[in-house]
């Protein structure tokens, strides 16, 4: 049977493009969404985009609810072989840009941390043991150049910290998976600046271009990398 992929936050933007491309490549794909209404809309949108992708409820900001939600997805669809942690928010300041550390509220930090860090940590904790036991798994975390410590600049501090933490989580998970010596690969990527709700209308890249490196990492062969940070399929400095 074809491998099963779960893409979080896949009802729009880069997640939608990743889910569509994985389905076009013959994987079975579940799209994580956070409401029944969005599930209905996503079904229609994937059908219009020419692919069969199953929406499933998965709010990644609800870390406590994630193991149960994933168990339900696996009960219905079978075990998840490929996990793409795509869902994220950027809520620093009005419009997301220009917010200084000194304007950042604890609430913005907490919400960003819950969605962008605790969510992916919870999905990895829930799914990696099964992947290691079955001796196969691919995990792709969607990060950003905003999370690079080398060249870290000012602005949108909660988002930057969350993506730097996601990079660290990726390294930790990859090191633990490597110790098992199974064919389980965990990588993180930057999609570049992409025209989505988050990236805005002026971004130079299409969602399909932004999805390319994540799709490559989700479909790596056994000899592919693990524990790396990539953009345009090239290694990026941390
Ligand atoms: N666009 C860029 O230029 C850019 C650059 C660097 C990195 N990235 C990264 O690429 C990834 C995708 O970004 P994007 O531009 O496609 O963002 P987007 O257009 O804002 O879409 C975000 C997706 O995540 C979902 N989401 C947010 N919070 C969620 C939650 N608690 N539970 C489940 N789903 C949730 C949203 O669902 P709703 O529809 O329910 O809100 C939506 O489907 C993110 O990790 C982002 O940080 C993007």
User: Ligand 1: distance of its center to the CA of 212 in Å?
Assistant: 16
Protein residue with its CA nearest to atom 40 in ligand 1: 34
Protein residue with its CA nearest to atom 21 in ligand 1: 13
- Specify the ligand 1 atom closest to the Cα of 12: 43
pTM of the complete model beyond 0.75: yes
pLDDT by residue for the chain (238 residues), tens digit each? Answer: 899 999 999 999 999 999 999 999 999 999 999 999 999 999 999 999 999 999 999 999 998 999 999 999 999 999 999 999 999 999 997 654 458 888 888 899 999 999 999 999 999 999 999 999 999 999 999 999 999 999 899 999 999 999 999 999 999 999 999 988 899 999 999 999 999 999 999 999 999 999 999 999 999 999 999 999 999 999 999 9
- All domains of the chain, ordered by start, with CATH? 4-235 (3.40.50.720)
Give dist(CA 230, CA 187) in Å, integer: 8
Pocket test for ligand 1, best of 11, 35, 46, 87 (most atoms within 8 A of CB): 87
CA distances (Å), origin 25, targets 18, 19, 83, 104, 193: 11, 10, 16, 42, 24
Give dist(CA 14, CA 33) in Å, integer: 13
Q: Is 88 in the pocket of ligand 1 (CB under 6 A)?
A: yes
- Catalytic site positions: 159
Can you give 125-183 as a three-state secondary structure string?
A: HHHHHHHHHHCEEEEEEECCHHHCCCCCCCCCHHHHHHHHHHHHHHHHHHHHHHHHCCE
Pocket test for ligand 1, best of 7, 8, 9 (most atoms within 8 A of CB): 9
User: Ligand 1: distance of its center to the CA of 133 in Å?
Assistant: 30
Q: Is 86 in the pocket of ligand 1 (CB under 6 A)?
A: yes
- 44-80 CB burial, b ≥16 within 10 A, e <16: ebbeeeeeebbbbebbbbbbeebeebbeebbeeeeeb
pLDDT given at position 129: 97
Give dist(CA 71, CA 63) in Å, integer: 14
- Specify the ligand 1 atom closest to the Cα of 61: 31
User: Ligand 1: distance of its center to the CA of 182 in Å?
Assistant: 30
Beta-carbon count within 10 A of 125 CB: 13
Instruction: Compute the Cα dihedral for 90, 94, 95, 101 and give only its sign.
Output: negative
User: Ligand 1: distance of its center to the CA of 150 in Å?
Assistant: 24
């Amino acid at each position: 049977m074809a491998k099963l992929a779960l893409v979080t936050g896949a009802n729009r933007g880069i997640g939608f493009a990743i889910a569509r491309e994985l389905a076009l490549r013959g994987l079975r794909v579940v799209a994580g969404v956070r409401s029944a209404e969005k599930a209905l809309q996503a079904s229609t949108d994937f059908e219009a985009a020419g692919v069969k992708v199953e929406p499933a409820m998965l709010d990644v900001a609800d870390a406590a609810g994630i193991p149960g939600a994933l168990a339900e997805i696996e009960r219905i669809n079978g075990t998840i072989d490929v996990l793409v942690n795509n869902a994220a928010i950027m809520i620093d300041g009005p419009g997301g840009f220009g917010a200084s550390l000194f304007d950042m509220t604890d609430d913005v930090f907490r919400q960003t941390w819950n969605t962008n860090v605790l969510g992916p940590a919870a999905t990895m904790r829930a799914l990696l043991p099964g992947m290691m036991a079955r001796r196969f798994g691919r995990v792709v975390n969607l990060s950003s150049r905003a999370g690079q410590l080398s060249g870290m600049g000012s602005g949108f501090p909660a988002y930057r910290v969350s993506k730097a933490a996601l990079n660290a989580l990726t390294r930790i998970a990859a090191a633990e998976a490597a110790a098992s010596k199974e064919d389980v690969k965990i990588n993180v990527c930057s999609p570049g600046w992409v025209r989505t709700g988050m990236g805005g209308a002026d971004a130079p890249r299409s969602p399909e271009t932004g999805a390319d490196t994540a799709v490559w990492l989700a479909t790596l062969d056994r000899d592919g990398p693990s524990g790396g940070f990539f953009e345009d399929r090239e290694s990026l400095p941390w």
